Structure 1
């Protein structure tokens, strides 16, 4: 890779990868700090986190639309476009989250009852969901800001602010779960309270940082230039609608996978809750590079540098899965070092987690390939409707039915049920690779917005 491209890649990818890995560390702390409270507490954190994950997928869909459009406009040289696009993303997401917040407030038990009959689990998780309602809105605004900044190649500030919030969150977890010093002993509730406090601090730091730098995305600037939203409404709606549907249905699909685990048994659900943060850390590393891929390709598409965009796509498609295989092998070889620190090796849960970890380490390369093809390439060029169709076919027609049949028809062990997600991943890789080769994604999405701005000026 050319030295300049490599420098751009590292500058964009490394902060994002580090931030996502820190988020995974936070997820691990949420789960592992409550292991002493029993399997029901661990499972409650896991199932609550999965419900939040479904809603974060809505936020991610809107944030990805922001990132795609801002990256291409930034590459074109239209630096003010980020203001209108960011405002659209923030406002539309806050409106979408209101009905979900009402369900969390008034009927979390009904929602959780669809997944488990364990009364202790439902009690723990219901309290967690009610307390973390503000977390939904805080997280959405932060995701939107981070998406816009990264698309403008600004990655260090989101990393620094996230690091402060995550360190604060982990410290508060420890103090509030077990009641250290003057702090009350809140158990599972302590995880929820710590998360809300940390996210509030993170957003306040974001707003102060942008205001002090007189950044074009500071809050007063967004308010004063809210009329800029109109020229970008059509392109944002066109990008955000399929992305939000895609991310939401995919998020619900992962929730169904979680539901299948809960019906297999509380131990299966607890093992999934324990392994998910480790798997998340694995993917966080590569998600940073995929995000960099998307930004670099998007900026080149905005400049009409289609040959450069295609060259980047080919190289990411080749090297990312190879790196994933090597990292998976390293993670597996180090398993005897870190897994006993998290669980008692004599516990039956340890053996199940060990088996799930084997699947993660030796099959995640296919997930990495899909991240490059879907997030880094196809979505960067706005090919969102095809990605939506691919995800729906792979997950809802293949992956989820395969897991269901393995669990309830053949009654296989949970490790085999867990591995059935590979049916979805291989189908997705086949469909996405064929689409990428057709070069339909080599498109400049800023041209319609430029026409809209000219019409506004006229």
Structure 2
């Protein structure tokens, strides 16, 4: 009887309120996963193409590997400038989505589309004229110059399509509807890999184009990806709600607003990839073998970094949405939670890589001497994944607050320390290659300290976009 009385007198309201809060928790593991997992799938799909390019080109020779790898980095330099712009657009879309200002999402998307396509066309024209003279200034190896030019002069035709795809990605990430990204990029990546094999080696009735075939495969796949994004958006998205593709005139104020947020990110991305390219220029001075080893390491390393980048991008858009919804108090717990998720994930990758290093490198070459020379650098970079997780998630949270100028300052400090260290190591050709790759610890270590300090002590809650 007493138990019944206690049960009757039990006030269930606090428990119900608590359960409601839990179910609507904007930073629950489920919510983070809903956004991040499709982005991880998308990122893996995109990056596996670069890995497969190197893998398929590897039997053709070390100069071809070096040229293809350098071409990928040069293309990434242009790609990343455009990505900087669309990341700024994504931050603003996320803020407007959090504020429930859906029509303003479409207004920005429409204007950003004009800028993005124009940028892609301008970069295509400039690269066509400036590429080869620039390569002769940077590299010694005639083979590397030849194959870098061969790759880039074809690959550059895909840039307008890439800009369209980046803009659609910014839209879907900004409104936190990321499932489509995994489907589209996975399908495009599978198509790209199939075209890679057929166009590099001349299989299935296709011409044998070697390095140029790897580039052409990507251009075709990117064009098809743009078409799929367009058709999906027309058929599945409420275009009236967002006001998509309603053009009246060019709204320079909106473009300037996007550039105000995106400008520091664009500069930051140029500096990041520029420093990455400078790294390989300095490595090339040590010889074609060292450059080829570094390109193989880059392929493995970037592939394993995909979950980190995806969690960081998810943190970025959730940060922007939370501020827009006046829930800034969730941002630090969000950064801590996604960092923990990332550390657990990268620990698994790190242990697998340390357990089967020869297998990973053996995908690219059967040369036992090459594999042996690659292992010290592979061991070192696999360990750096943990520090990269702590660094990148906090850094992208800083950008997500809208204070992209602070993010740029953090990036500049990290890159300066990184380049000084690489220069110090590579000026002595007797130093082993993995010493140069230890620069990853310098870069990510400095970024982690500065980013977390700003999140804990900075005035990011006052930023307006």
Tell me if both proteins adopt one fold, taking TM over 0.5 as the criterion: yes
1:334 aligns with 2:356: yes
What does 1:435-454 align with in structure 2 at a 5 Å threshold? 435-443=454-462, 445=464
- 1:405 equivalent in structure 2: 424
What does 1:121-132 align with in structure 2 at a 5 Å threshold? 121-132=144-155
Counterpart pick for 1:393 among 391, 394, 413: 413
C-alpha displacement of 1:147:
1.2
**CA–CA distance in structure 2, aligned partners of residues 317 and 158 of structure 1:** 22
**CA–CA distance in structure 2, aligned partners of residues 107 and 297 of structure 1:** 39
1:358 aligns with 2:358: no
C-alpha displacement of 1:14:
0.6
Counterpart pick for 1:258 among 254, 261, 280: 280
Q: 422-431 or 43-52, which moves further after superposition?
A: 422-431
Q: Deviations over 1:34-88 (max 9, x none)?
A: 1111001111110000001111210121121011111111111111222222234
Counterpart pick for 1:242 among 238, 260, 264: 264
Counterpart pick for 2:370 among 349, 362, 380: 349
- 1:19 equivalent in structure 2: 42
C-alpha displacement of 1:228:
8.5
Counterpart pick for 2:398 among 378, 395, 402: 378
Change (3 A) 1:322 1:158: closer
1:113 aligns with 2:136: yes
Counterpart pick for 2:289 among 267, 271, 277: 267
- 1:427 equivalent in structure 2: 446
Q: 146-155 or 416-425, which moves further after superposition?
A: 416-425
Aligned residues of 1:173 and 1:191 also touching (Cα < 8 A): yes
- 2:127 equivalent in structure 1: 104
- 1:453 equivalent in structure 2: none
**CA–CA distance in structure 1, aligned partners of residues 169 and 241 of structure 2:** 13
**CA–CA distance in structure 2, aligned partners of residues 98 and 218 of structure 1:** 30
Change (3 A) 1:325 1:134: same
- 2:346 equivalent in structure 1: 324
For residue 427 of structure 2, give the secondary structure of its aligned residue in structure 1: helix
1:415 aligns with 2:434: yes
Aligned residues of 2:196 and 2:217 also touching (Cα < 8 A): yes
**CA–CA distance in structure 2, aligned partners of residues 366 and 433 of structure 1:** 13
Counterpart pick for 2:205 among 147, 159, 182: 182
**CA–CA distance in structure 2, aligned partners of residues 392 and 281 of structure 1:** 24
C-alpha displacement of 1:231:
5.8
Q: Deviations over 1:354-386 (max 9, x none)?
A: 2221111111211111111111x1011012111
- 2:314 equivalent in structure 1: 292
- 2:164 equivalent in structure 1: 141
Aligned residues of 2:57 and 2:210 also touching (Cα < 8 A): yes
**CA–CA distance in structure 2, aligned partners of residues 299 and 315 of structure 1:** 17
Q: 432-441 or 47-56, which moves further after superposition?
A: 432-441
Q: Deviations over 1:390-449 (max 9, x none)?
A: 1112212x1111101111147411111121232222122222121111142224645xxx
C-alpha displacement of 1:128:
1.7
For residue 114 of structure 1, give the secondary structure of its aligned residue in structure 2: helix
**CA–CA distance in structure 1, aligned partners of residues 35 and 217 of structure 2:** 30
Q: Deviations over 1:260-303 (max 9, x none)?
A: 11112111111121121211111101222222222222211101
Please list every run of at least 4 consecutive aligned residues from structure 1 whose deviation after the TM superposition is greater than 4 angstroms: 1-4, 226-231
- 2:337 equivalent in structure 1: 315
C-alpha displacement of 1:96:
3.7
Aligned residues of 2:47 and 2:303 also touching (Cα < 8 A): yes
**CA–CA distance in structure 1, aligned partners of residues 304 and 407 of structure 2:** 23
C-alpha displacement of 1:320:
2.9
**CA–CA distance in structure 1, aligned partners of residues 339 and 362 of structure 2:** 35
What does 1:203-214 align with in structure 2 at a 5 Å threshold? 203-213=226-236
Q: Structure 1: any 5+ residue segments left out of the alignment?
A: 447-458
- 2:73 equivalent in structure 1: 50
- 2:302 equivalent in structure 1: 280
- 1:456 equivalent in structure 2: none
- 1:77 equivalent in structure 2: 100
The aligned length equals 442
Aligned-residue RMSD, C-alpha: 2.3
Q: What TM-score does the superposition give when structure 1 sets the normalisation length? A: 0.90
